[in-house]
Structures are given as structure tokens and as C-alpha cells.
Structure 1
Amino acid sequence: MPGTLLIDEIVERVLQRIAEADPAQTIVGISNRHVHLDDADFHTLFGYAKPTVKKYVRQRGEFAAEETVTLHGPRGHMDRVRVMGPNRPATQVELSRTDCFALGVAAPMAQSGNLAEAGPIEIEGPVGRVVKAHAAIVAGRHIHMGPDDAARLGVKDQDRVSVVFGGERGGRLDQFLVRVKESFLLELHLDTDEGNAIGARTGDYVTICDVPRRTSP
């Protein structure tokens, strides 16, 4: 809607000014459990082709969908798990470690899209089910950024950096993977376990530190 798009544009301009003033500052996004589906699995679960937009998220073109699924594991199930859109080339279920214990799912920590060692899980939709041998992961902590952000910070794609969090439970977390892509907006992602442990919330600002040193050619 035009009003929503205008608000998003204003917010993005404000965030850009903050980044220009202090390039080491980045906004936090806490990721709850969610599911990305490929076209075939989405159709099996819902009986139609594409997810319906509920709310756009910060990264361009990505959204929380109206659709939800039920996840099944050896120990139990979780209802109303949000589908994220648009559909992707491979189905991926992102869980916290606490979720894995509750479901009885053996999911490794991995970066998005790295599913070779991902754990098995069953996904139920309104009209069907799919059983995936390699879909469940605990998403590794990471920071999205565009090329301009990376240049300001002096980092490159696949670098690892540390981040300092403020607040009463604040501290420092290491091993954030830098992910650089033209379409990305600057944003740090943690799962709910990590966010709760360090007292971080979506919309907080944190400071990137320990940027890898570059040697002159």
C-alpha cells in the first residue's frame, strides 16, 4: 500500500543516515522459527502455487507469509510455524536449539542454503505433508550488508566479525558471518535463543568490531 511504502522509505533513509554517521552500527533482527519452501513442497502443502504476503521484512523482496505449517519431529510437533516468501530453490526449516530439543530433531548449525548435512523433519500443511531428509538447521549468526556497507566497514563477503551488544545482559558475540550482496540491507540476524541470552530485541542497534585486517598488496 502507498502509505506503507512511504513509511518504509522514510525508515530506510533514517537508517542509512545512522549507518553513514557510524558505519559500525547495525540494526538487529531476531529470527523466530520459520520455514522456506520450494515450489513443489509449497504446492503439496497448500494446493496452490505461491505464498501470500502478510508483512514485508527488512531485506528487499522478502516477506512473512499468511501461510503457516505444523512441524513434526520424534518428540512432538509445533503448530503455526510461519512460512517466509518468496519460495526458494530448496526447502529449509530454521529452528533454535531449544526448538530442536522440543521436536527431537538433530539439526546442525549451518548458514542458510547449506543443507547437505541438514536434519530430517516432517512438514504438514492444510492439504498435504512432506518428509524432508535434509531441511532442518540452526541458522548460524550472520550480518547482511550491501557492497557500500562492506566498503565502509572494510570487510568482504564470508569474513567473520564480532559484535558488542549493550543493555543489562549485553556483551560480545563472535563469529558473525558477513554476507554481502547488492540487494542486501545492513542487518544482523540472531535466533531467539541467542537474542534472549544477550537481551537483544529486533530494532536494537549494536556495534560491529574486530574487523579483519587487510594487508596492502
Structure 2
Amino acid sequence: MSLADMRPRHDGPPRGRPRSEAVERAIIEGVMKLLEEGVSLGELSIERVARTAGVGKAAIYRRWSGKEELFVDVLRAAEPPDPELPGTSVRDDLVVLLEQVRRRGLANRSSAILHSVHAQMKSSPKIWAAYHNTVVAPRRRLGIEVLRRGQENGELRADVDVELLSDIVVGPMLVRAVLRPDAELPEGLAEQIVDTLLEGLRPVSSPSAPR
């Protein structure tokens, strides 16, 4: 993905004037340029971003309330887009969701900048909270909705806690993508994880009564 393709994705109507796309792109690219030069989050100020992007501070504040909100949009722009779920089965939907996690893991590994930025972000509670609320939490809710539908249509056991199940489904991929940077993330891993888990999650017939 080139910097020119990195634009913040907002929910709701676009902010700013009609020419805002070019301005927003310049601002996002300005932040990425500073990160490439080794500027830390603590040193990243609105004034510095404005100078680098060639815009006024007002142009930034019209679109973002502060650097935390701006930085979250930069991270979102650098990530793969949210997936479109096929809706054919709980298995197919879970595979798509896990494949997105796998690709994000590969992207982080191939980008020293993103890897460094994610590490710095965790030391800033305000930025991490904003990222969690706008990126992590919605994706988790989507996964839980998929699991609930699976229970309702009989694809999954009804006695399983979907909140816990969501962590169990995503956990193996996150371990490989985040906690084990030396672990492989091969194609087909999402299918392997989902199929392995579903073996123990499908409803089973009641055992026959003893004679």
C-alpha cells in the first residue's frame, strides 16, 4: 500500500470542505513521513505535522480534535480494510475474520514503522484507548455477532459463552501474529484454526440411554 492510498476512513458524513480528500491525504502522509524519520509519538505535535504536510493547524483541527484522533486514523489507514463477510456459514465468516488478523500480522512484520508505532502506542493509555474503541472493539463485536448467529442457527453449541469463545477463536492467530514474531503465518492458517476449533463446538446428539 502506498502512502497516496492511505486516507482515514470515517464513519458518517465526511468532514471538511469538498477539497478535503487532498488535504487529508497530505496530513496522513505528513505523519507517516515523520514516523519514517524516527519521530516518536511524544515528539509528534500538531504544529510539526502541519509544517511537514504544508497545511495550517486549523486544517488539521477541522478534521481531528487532537493528535490522538489523528494518529488512530493513520493506523487505520495503514491496515487492511475491514472484511466483507460472506454470510454463508459461521465457518466461512470466522475464516474471513481470522484471515484479516493474519494479514495484519504480516503487514506489521514487513513494516518496521508500524511495529515500532504499535509498541509506542501501548505506552500511551489515551491513544491505546482511542485505537481500542475505534478499531479493536468494533471488530470484536463483529466476531461475537458471528458466533451468536452460529448458535441461533444450530451451527454451534448453545451452552458456550460467546465472549469466551471469541477469545478462543482469535487467540491462536494473535499469538502467532503478535507474541511469536518468529512463527509462520502461512496461507490456509485461518482455515486450519477454525476447522480445528469447530470440531469441538458443533452440537452433538444426546447419547443413547443405557439398556
Higher strand proportion: 1
Decide which structure has the larger Cα Rg and report it. Answer: 2
| TM-score in terms of structure 2 length | 0.29
Higher helix proportion: 2
Q: Which has the higher contact order (CA 8 A, sep 6+)?
A: 1
| TM-score in terms of structure 1 length | 0.29
